[in-house]
Amino acid sequence: MQKTYFMIKPEIGAAADHLTRVVLGGLHTTGKSITNLAMRQLDRALVEDFYGEHKERPFFGELCDYIVGGPVVTIGLERENAVLALRELIGATNPEEAAIGTIRDLFGASLSNNAVHASANTEDAARELALIFGK
Ligand code: CMP
C-alpha cells in the first residue's frame, strides 16, 4: 500500500463545494481509500514550506497567494500505486495539456489555477502528509 496527498485548491464560493463533491465521488469509484479529510484555511508560513521547492520560481508569490486565498480540502489517500494512480486521475499540471476527462481538464482554469494538487512522488507524499496532518 502507498500513501499520497491530494488537495483541492481554493475556488470561488459554491464552486468549491461542487468541485469537492464531484472529485470525492470520482475518488470513491476508483477504489482509493481516504485516510484523512478536512477543509482548512492554511496559513502562509505552512504554504511557503509546502511549496518550498518552488521558492525561487517567479510564480511562487502568486501560487502562495492563491492557496491562502480561501479554504482548501486536504485529503490523505492510501491504495496500491497511489501516487501514480492519482497523478493519472488529475492529469497534467497545465489544464491545457491535461488528458480529456481528467480533473484538471474538467476543472482547471489555467496553469496557476489548476484546481488540484497531488504529490509528485513517495518522498513528497510523506513530507506533504506530515506537514498537513502531522506525523
Ligand atoms: P501543483 O501541482 O500544486 O504544484 C505547484 C504548482 O505551481 C502547480 O500545481 C501550478 O499550479 C503552479 N505552477 C507551476 N508552474 C507554473 C507557472 N509556470 N506559472 C504559474 N504557476 C505555476
Active-site residue, 117 included: yes
**pTM, to two decimals:** 0.93
Domain CATH code at residue 33? 3.30.70.141
Residues 51-98: pLDDT tens digits? 999 999 999 999 999 999 999 999 999 999 999 999 999 999 999 999
How many domains, in total, are found in the chain? 1
Please give the helix or strand (H or E) that residue 84 lies within, else none: helix 82-90
Residue 17, domain extent: 2-133
Alpha carbons within 13 angstroms on the beta-carbon side of residue 48 total 6
Among 63, 64, 90, say which to mutate for ligand 1: greatest number of ligand atoms within 8 Å of CB.
63
